[in-house]
Amino acid sequence: MTDGVWSADRERRLAVAQRGKIHGGRPVFLHHGTPGSRIGPLPREGLLYRLGVRLITYDRPGYGDSDRHEGRSVGDVAADVAAIADHLGLDRFAVVGRSGGGPHALACAALIPHRVTRAAVLVGLAPPEAEGLDWFDGMAEGNVAEYMTAMQGRARLAARLGPTAAEIREDPVRLVNALYDELPEPDRSVIADAGIRTMLVQNYAEAVRNSAYGWIDDAMAFCSPWGFDPADIRVPTLLWHGEDDVFSPVSHSRWLAGRIPTATVRIQRGAAHFHALHVLPDLLGWLARDERAA
């Protein structure tokens, strides 16, 4: 079920979808990866219902059917999530972000803590100014090139990602195939599953269906001041990372774990970036627990 929700400034429309136990379930916002969209990949509907989870996804500005918010910061997401929650009549909710969604989940935990019960980040990124962290160490060449281009300015990044997005629109399988050469073996095993490959292809196609702006603005936001300090987070926060990740290196979660006072970190050996798709269902039960529970 997809709905259109006005942003807090009433100037943009956000495409929002809900799945699982929509009536009476515990609300969990899932922040998609980069590039990504509201459509997935997602846990199965039956599992969500059994866990009592009301899963809420939405296209970040510029992706899918959501209007662009040019110049947005990572922290700007908190106002959008609050606006969606208001529209849905939700006071409190949990947040989880996968990959590029990770920083956005942290933004909600830091900036609207009175509404966020718990936060989880799977294979996320640390801020670019993270003290003591070599931000690019262990990162695949493709991601290094993308973020280095972002640091040179929006015009250069648009010139790089615009044609790539156009190619994905013409052939959505292209991005999955292009990623394959950089994947460590654990990731290759995950996306060898035909169902997961299909979900990824559909997700990437929806992400850039109208433009490359969501992707461009995400990368610019990651490489700019985020608008909050992870050290300010006080809600229970779980960080998960595959040790062999080359897209967002494990050192990023280790840095965040040392910065966020309420963080618990889980590093999994023999796993990498896309293993997060298998881990998410296991974390939903924790996210949906009453915030007063231990």
Q: Give, in order, the Cα–Cα distances in Å from 62 to each of 12, 140, 156, 225, 252.
A: 10, 25, 18, 19, 26
The HSE-up count of residue 111 (CA atoms within 13 Å, CB side) is 20
Q: According to the model, what pLDDT value does residue 2 have?
A: 73
Largest CA distance in the chain: 49
CA distance 271 to 186: 6
Half-sphere exposure in the Cβ direction for 73 (13 Å, CA): 16
- Tokens 């996968």 — which residue? 98
Count, residues in the chain: 294
Instruction: Please confirm whether the linkage preceding 41 is cis (ω < 30° from 0).
Output: yes
Residues 6+ apart with CB under 8 A from 10: none
> Considering Cα of 265, then 270, then 275, then 279, what sign does the dihedral take?
negative
Q: What is the pLDDT, as a whole number, of residue 1?
A: 60
Residue 290 has a pLDDT of: 67
Residues of the chain scoring pLDDT < 70 = 1, 290-294
Cis omega before residue 225 (within 30°)? no
Separation CA 160–CA 213 (nearest Å)? 12
SS3 of 25, please? Answer: coil
pLDDT at 9: 84
The CA angle 281-284-286, to the nearest 5 degrees, is 130
Q: Can you give the pLDDT at residue 293?
A: 46
Question: pLDDT of 186-205, one tens digit each?
Answer: 999 999 999 999 999 999 99
For the packed helices 102-111 and 77-88, what is the interaxial angle rounded to 10 degrees?
70
Q: How far is 216 from 112, CA to CA, in rounded Å?
A: 25
Burial, 273: exposed, middle or buried (Cβ in 10 Å; 0-12, 13-18, 19+)? Answer: buried
Single pTM value for the model? 0.96
Predicted local distance difference test score (pLDDT) of residue 294: 41
Structure confidence at residue 291 (pLDDT): 56
> How many Å apart are CA 290 and CA 21, to the nearest integer?
16
DSSP character for 252?
H
Domains of the chain: 2-288 (3.40.50.1820)
Provide the edge-to-edge strand list for the sheet that holds 2-6. 2-6, 13-20, 53-58, 26-31, 93-98, 116-122, 237-242, 263-268
pLDDT of residue 91: 98
Rounded Cα gap, residues 291 and 294, in angstroms: 8
d(CA 277, CA 42): 8
